[in-house]
Amino acid sequence: MSASLQQVRETAWQAFEQQGLPTTRDEDWKYTDLSRISALLGEQWWQTVEQGELDVTAADIPELDAWRMVFINGHFDSETSELPAGITVTALSALIQDDPDRSVELLEFEPDAPLSSGMTAANSALAIDGACICVSDNTKLDKPLYIQYVSNGGTSHLRTGIQLGKHAEIEVIEHFVGHHAESGLTNHVTAIRLAAGASCTHYRLQLEAAKQCHAGRVEVNQLADSSYTLHAVELGGLLSRSDVINRLNASGASCHLNGLFVLASRQHADHHTRIEHNAPHCKSRENYRAVLDGRSHGVFNGKIVVAEGAVKTDSAQSNANLLLSSNAEIDTKPELEIYNDDVKCAHGVTVGQLDKNQLFYLTTRGISEEEAKQMLTFAFADEILAKMENKAVRRFIEKEAFSKLPNITDLEGMLA
């Protein structure tokens, strides 16, 4: 291990020891108590597990035509992976061995970055694997890259880096999955850098096992006229928190953040997003929706920061929430910080139950009340899923999301 990599690790570890896990006294962590993780996993919760053996194909997305990269319990599995030629996709573990200086770039650590916490520090100190993706100028990956993070309990720290050259293009599908009954933690950081004119479509599908905790951080830095689209889906896990920091750093950059939570029983999911308009003529669109059943708890905090020089900013944010149960809870907060006058910023939040007039209308057409509720719930959530251009992913998520809600009887028909 080169000295500089070791330095990064040490700095991060010190920061982790100092910061520990955030408490609910911190405004950014008010509704999500990460200290539960040490209660669930023990004092040494951060210790990583061995790779072990797992049937990974069982977790695949049906009919998805893509390159694959598989991580089992946080370790790259070359046997089940199929990597494209022509662009550089390597495992962080291999990079650390072959070119430690380059791996430092990926693990680069800024303890003061917004929404950074001891969890991010632990990741920088302990991540031993992840995906390193470099696409050179004017190159487009012919098929999407599907990255599966499959676990059977225990803790893993993963670090993924995506760097796109000028006018490069890629679609990445990150899928977090497990079917085990153990508790565990996935601590995952993705750093994305887009050069001028680059385009990245990013699916982040959180379908962890029932007792798994999930900590995610997506940090995106964009240059001129680049575009970034995120489809963030929260279906699985017990306790999940993700932070998305999207910086529009040069003129003409645009981002679309789409989020869907479908939660039941005692699930908890929290997304804090921060879009920074740091340059003129940038555009951001953010649409988050949550369907909450049982005693589940959703948290959405969407911050838009428009810098002084970021004139002609065009920003719109909407967050809609559907509560299917009187015991479900949503805490939602849009935050706008605008430091110039020449901007267009729209935002809106709704929280509600199924519409009684719509329900009555459907039942007068012979639809049973139960089925009418399903149709309306489906329609509500599908507004986000309809934005997914990858049909195989969309179909997969529709099925996974609605199998969680009781008595969806004719999903196939609704999908038509």
Partner 1 sequence: MLKIENLHASVGGKAILKGINLEIGTGEVHAIMGPNGSGKSTLSNIIAGRDGYEVTQGSITYKGKDLLAMNPEERAWEGVFLAFQYPVEIPGVNNTYLLKAGVNAKRTHQELEELDAMDFLKIVKEKAKLVELDQSFLSRGVNEGFSGGEKKRNEIFQMAVLEPSLALLDETDSGLDIDALRIVANGVNHLRSEERSVVMVTHYQRLLDYIQPDVVHVLADGKILKTGDKSLALELEERGYDWVREEAAA
- Positions in the binding site for partner 1 (CB under 8 A): 355-358, 360-369, 371, 375-376, 378-380, 382-383, 410, 413-414, 416
Characterize the bridge pairing of strands 184-194 and 154-164: parallel
Closer residue to partner 1 (CB): 17 or 369:
369
Q: How far is the CB of 407 from partner 1 (least distance, A)?
A: 14
Q: How far is the CB of 416 from partner 1 (least distance, A)?
A: 6
Beta carbons of 346 and 315 less than 8 angstroms apart: yes
Q: How far is the CB of 399 from partner 1 (least distance, A)?
A: 17
Q: How far is the CB of 411 from partner 1 (least distance, A)?
A: 11
Closer residue to partner 1 (CB): 90 or 374:
374
Q: How far is the CB of 386 from partner 1 (least distance, A)?
A: 8
Closer residue to partner 1 (CB): 339 or 361:
361
Q: How far is the CB of 290 from partner 1 (least distance, A)?
A: 16
Closer residue to partner 1 (CB): 18 or 409:
409
Closer residue to partner 1 (CB): 212 or 321:
321
Q: How far is the CB of 61 from partner 1 (least distance, A)?
A: 23
Closer residue to partner 1 (CB): 339 or 360:
360
Closer residue to partner 1 (CB): 106 or 375:
375
Q: What is the 3-state secondary structure (H, E, C) of the chain?
A: CCHHHHHHHHHHHHHHHHHCCCCCCCHHHCCCCCCHHHHHHCCCCCCECCCCCCCCHHHCCCCCCCEEEEEECCEECCCCCECCCCCEEEEHHHHHHHCHHHHHHHHCCCCCCCCCCHHHHHHHHHCCECEEEEECCCCECCCCEEEEEECCCEEEEEEEEEEECCCCEEEEEEEEECCCCCCEEEEEEEEEEECCCCEEEEEEEEECCCCEEEEEEEEEEECCCCEEEEEEEECCCCEEEEEEEEEECCCCCEEEEEEEEEECCCCEEEEEEEEEECCCCCEEEEEEEEEECCCCEEEEEEEEEECCCCCCEEEEEEEEEEECCCCCEEEEEEEEEECCCCEEEEEEEEEECCCHHHHHHHHHCCCCHHHHHHHHHHHHHHHHHCCCCCHHHHHHHHHHHHHHCCCCCCHHHHHC
Closer residue to partner 1 (CB): 38 or 358:
358
Q: What span, in angstroms and rounded, lies between the C-alpha atoms of 318 and 336?
A: 13
Q: How far is the CB of 357 from partner 1 (least distance, A)?
A: 5
Q: How far is the CB of 388 from partner 1 (least distance, A)?
A: 15
Closer residue to partner 1 (CB): 380 or 396:
380
